[in-house]
């Protein structure tokens, strides 16, 4: 029995080195491995559903269980040929930062709990503020990901503009908007009849005329238009809504503008991204996910508010048991700005990796994502059996096999998983099923793109009817 749950230093080091070795082996050889594997629930679940051991099991055995039953069954979202959904390219320095944050068990909820980490979070959030061109009084918070960032922002919008009285209030966004927005609105009490999911235009952007018409109609009907949600990189196609025009409309109509840049907003650090995302600085609130295109390991999302005091107005509650935390007004308590009290030190990984590589390297890594999608598009245009359905945009290209229906894509999915060389996933654009590559991993080589498209072509041949 080990009632203190302690290890002597030599054993801690041994376990720690072993973990680091395992991570390094995994990452160093990733390129050669299958992109991932999916286990059968009928096999995996019984294998792992066991009572906990009464006494400790040797580390050797624990590791071999992991190697056998768990680690082989993941999708390697940082694999250079993982093009599905939104990849998580990650980076090793940030992985070590996560280990440090866990090792020191940093409580990043209050200034008292961790003034160094709180000050660092404020500093890193201020980088984001500047990258996005937000004013001085803007600020925000690290959260678990884009879903939480959207929830945190929309809850603030509801509190600040509606005083939490949602009756008759209406929100507007395009049908290309991520489902996390629908979920956030469900969580904070908006009903389906309060949501206008407007059909996107032929470029998959929110059409301004339809937006203006819907707002005017709702006003005539005595409803309360309240918020527009714009995409800064829609998940399906990478489309960016006309941000500057939407912002002008929102100003004129006195509407809150939330920008979901969970996927795309980090591209502002590159020259190309900055141009494409023109107008992002005008948002009232913005979601950005460093665990996507800013190369951080999961979980790392971020919410920015044009006026950080609005977060505080929404979330700050001062119970008697936190009186010591709230005594000094100069101290910033992250728990006052969001939903979590106990929270990890997510800023550390962003800070350490940007220190280590420098911002130029990050900008070049983002630029590479743009270029890889363009390379894929160019190659697809030379392949007679495929058609490009949306051009390379923010590191995403979509394409379809001529003459194929949705059943073909289901067969392709199974075939891709069986083979494991690469992974692309399907989506539906205006009723048509297509394949989609998201190419934001800077470790993807040109050969990976070419090889993947040739491989898809061969798989398609053998899976056509």
Ligand X SMILES: Cc1ncc(COP(=O)(O)O)c(C=O)c1O
Q: By the criterion CB under 6 A, which residues form the site for ligand X?
A: 86, 145-147, 178, 180, 235, 260, 262-263, 289, 301
Strands 301-305 and 139-143, bridge-based pairing: antiparallel
C-alpha dihedral over 341, 344, 350, 351, to 10 degrees?
Answer: 90
Min dist CB 298 to ligand X, Å, is 8
Q: How far is the CB of 217 from ligand X (least distance, A)?
A: 27
- Least gap, CB of 154 to ligand X (angstroms): 12
Cα 358 to chain center, whole Å? Answer: 22
- Least distance to ligand X, CB of residue 292, Å: 7
CB-nearer residue toward ligand X: 325 or 392 = 392
Cβ proximity to ligand X, 50 vs 179, nearer residue: 179
How many C-beta atoms lie closer than 10 Å to residue 444's C-beta?
26
Q: How far apart are CA 177 and CA 155, in angstroms?
A: 17
Question: Nearer Cβ to ligand X, position 260 or 448?
Answer: 260
CB of 151 to ligand X, least distance (A): 9
Return d(Cα 390, Cα 250) in angstroms, integer: 28
Classify 171 as helix, strand or coil: strand
Cβ 259 vs Cβ 133: under 8 Å: no
Per the CB < 8 A criterion, the answer to whether 208 and 173 are in contact is: no
Structure tokens at 111: 């200034």
What is the nearest approach in angstroms of ligand X to the Cβ of residue 229?
10
Locate 44 and state its tokens.
């995996």
The Cα–Cα gap between 259 and 63 comes to: 43
Comparing CB distances to ligand X, the nearer of 289 and 448 is 289
Identify which of residues 86 and 332 has a Cβ nearer to ligand X in the complex: 86
Q: Which residues are CB-neighbours of 393 under 8 A, at least 6 positions away?
A: 237, 238, 239, 240, 373
Query: Of 316, 352, 342, 349, which Cα lies nearest the Cα of 108?
Result: 342
- Whether 203 contacts 231, CB under 8 Å: no
Q: Which is nearer to ligand X, 171 or 460 (CB)?
A: 171
Sheet holding 169-174, edge to edge: 139-143, 301-305, 285-288, 256-261, 224-231, 169-174, 195-198
Nearer to ligand X, 236 or 444 (CB): 236
Q: Which is nearer to ligand X, 129 or 178 (CB)?
A: 178
Q: Shortest Cβ distance from residue 260 to ligand X (Å)?
A: 5
CB of 117 to ligand X, least distance (A): 22
């Amino acid at each position: 029995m080990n009632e203190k749950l302690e290890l002597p230093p030599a054993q801690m080091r041994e376990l720690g080195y072993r973990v680091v070795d395992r991570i390094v082996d995994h990452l160093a050889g990733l390129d050669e491995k299958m992109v991932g594997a999916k286990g059968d629930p009928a096999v995996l679940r019984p294998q792992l559903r066991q009572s906990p051991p009464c006494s400790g099991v040797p580390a050797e055995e624990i590791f071999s269980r992991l190697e056998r039953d768990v680690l082989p069954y993941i999708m390697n979202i940082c694999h250079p040929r993982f093009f599905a959904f939104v990849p998580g390219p990650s980076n090793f320095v940030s992985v070590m930062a996560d280990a440090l944050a866990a090792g020191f068990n940093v409580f990043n909820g209050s200034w008292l709990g961790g003034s160094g980490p709180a000050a660092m979070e404020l500093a890193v959030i201020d980088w984001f503020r500047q990258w996005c061109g937000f004013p001085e009084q803007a600020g925000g918070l690290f959260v678990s990901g884009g879903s939480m960032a959207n929830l945190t922002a929309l809850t603030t919008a509801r509190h600040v503009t509606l005083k939490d009285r949602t009756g008759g209030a209406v929100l507007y966004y395009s049908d290309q908007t991520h489902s996390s927005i629908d979920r956030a609105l469900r969580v904070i009490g908006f009903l389906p009849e309060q949501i206008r999911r407007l059909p996107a235009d032929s470029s998959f952007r929110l059409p301004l005329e339809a937006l203006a018409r819907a707002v005017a109609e709702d006003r005539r009907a005595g409803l309360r238009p309240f918020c527009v949600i714009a995409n800064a990189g829609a998940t399906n196609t990478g489309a960016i809504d006309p941000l500057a025009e939407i912002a002008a409309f929102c100003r004129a109509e006195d509407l809150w503008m939330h920008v979901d840049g969970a996927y795309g907003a980090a591209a502002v650090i590159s020259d190309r991204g900055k141009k494409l995302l023109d107008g992002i600085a005008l948002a009232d609130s913005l979601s950005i996910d460093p665990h996507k295109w800013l190369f951080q390991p999961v979980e790392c999302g971020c919410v920015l508010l044009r006026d950080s005091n609005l977060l505080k107005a929404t979330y700050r509650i001062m119970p008697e048991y936190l009186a010591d935390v709230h005594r000094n007004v100069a101290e910033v308590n992250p728990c006052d700005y969001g939903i979590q009290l106990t929270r990890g030190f997510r800023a550390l990984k962003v800070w350490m990796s940007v220190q280590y590589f420098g911002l130029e390297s990050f900008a070049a890594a983002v630029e590479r994502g743009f270029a890889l999608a363009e390379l894929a598009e160019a190659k697809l245009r030379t392949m007679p059996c495929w058609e490009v359905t949306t051009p390379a945009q923010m590191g995403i290209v979509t394409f379809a096999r001529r003459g194929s229906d949705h059943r073909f894509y289901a067969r392709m999915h199974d075939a891709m998983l069986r083979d494991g060389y690469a992974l692309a996933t399907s989506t539906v654009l205006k009723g048509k099923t297509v394949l989609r590559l998201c190419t934001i991993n800077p470790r993807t080589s040109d050969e990976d793109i070419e090889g993947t498209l040739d491989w898809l072509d061969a798989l398609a041949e053998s899976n056509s009817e």
